[in-house]
Structure 1
């Protein structure tokens, strides 16, 4: 699984990124990638871009691949709502707070500070403490998540769990607490392999963003964004010190473009409301022969009609001709032998 490479960062950039992204061990120890993740500057980076996830990365001071794997699971509703996410964070920074509901859980939950955060944890605890077979433990997991065999199966497995705890000398109160933890999040938890795969792709995205933020954010915008709308990613570009350049018929491509070395992100013509592929491709194609010299040259060679040209004027895409937008609008009407039109529609989709 490989993160989508920036589409416009040049052959050398793409070749280097492809080599590095395939070296997952080096990726997990890359200082720039880790710095970006631990600071929560991960907008656009797949599973770790939501506000809650970015906050969690900072709270955990997340500096390893393994911790990103864990974070990808503890952010899930079951762990968070059961109070175990907060317990995990506290124990991460203060090992003296690590405790196990029963000594038998230490070997099973040592890696996660005594907290069940993966589906595998539920299965192992149900087997080790509750005396269930692995098959029964999986039935329990599915029954809790309403994907199992119904109430009868759930009642049978619950009874067996508590009976096994009693035979093992586990206090009723302790057994009830273990059961509460199992039931509170089993329906929402990830298996560890799922979290690990999400973390790989998130690391790959973070690696690209740390090195080529302009190209990365251009690709995110071209792919329709992720958790956020386009305006949020534009603001993120500014936070990364990039100049955001408006649409320009003599410089913009159809899609967003960026150059991290030069420090800019440019809005593509497709971002303008109503400018479809059929309308923008002829504009870009004619421009590649030679730049447009002015409004009349643009109208003659681009195939744009009056309304398309007006839309581009109001969006600032014809500012490159050195005239004000009111003057361009007036000249446009004169070119088509009409009086100036009133009203300005919203420009950007």
Structure 2
């Protein structure tokens, strides 16, 4: 993969569409046994990981964002490290640093928590911009550079970060350049009454605070799934639809800076993963629509007037999806499966 959003992934024998769909369903079922009421966000997060990208969960505290990230890592069989972001966190606390080894008399590199399969950067907006930027190279190139020496990260490597949007004291807003590195930004939302009752009942049933999830696959299996996704056909009409949606954000009068080509690529990549998770080898306009807000909203910079008026970027993207006409649903071979996508 060539886009900066995507971690470098070594070659692996591709899994079949059926295998990817079945394994993805099993992973989500395992996660949803302990994470209640997050079906769609979890599905898009899983699709983003299959696409090789990184995920930002932004919502109020206490909704299970950390549990969701830990459970996804466990179900996918990935090594997992949790980084609690605080104002005094230093870049070396993420990347690692050289330390003196008295036995050899040399300085040796001690890897930081970024050297893992899935890194949870909890409350990322609580750490200073200099430390936030320490993740940029890792997210873009699957490596870190310390004192002029580059160290490759394990593959696969993914970041799931959380951010709290309601507190401002002691927080540092993520700059647009860093937000753009996340393939999607997701909001969990409050569970309904039935789901919240299930959360309480599950806690009583397991008789302990920590919820555990058994591994469904492993790192090698995830690499095979990612390789299989790369073989999925995307029709030219779908590509044009992704470009049309991204271009429409640049033309909106409330948007100062619209989504870049990285945004249209994010639409295509996550929509493609969703198609495979549904057992299809082709992408439909509805796949693209499902990921439009998570893939595009965080890439928009609103005009000062729109920001002051409390305009929401997600609503802008949703309006654009309603406005921009979609193509027919076309599978590989040119077979039309339904009408227009809008």
Q: What TM-score comes out, normalization by structure 1 length? A: 0.20
Q: More helix by proportion, 1 or 2?
A: 1
Larger radius of gyration: 1
With normalisation by structure 2, the TM-score equals 0.20
Q: Which of 1 and 2 has higher RCO (CA within 8 Å, sep 6+)?
A: 2
Structure 1 or 2: larger strand share? 2
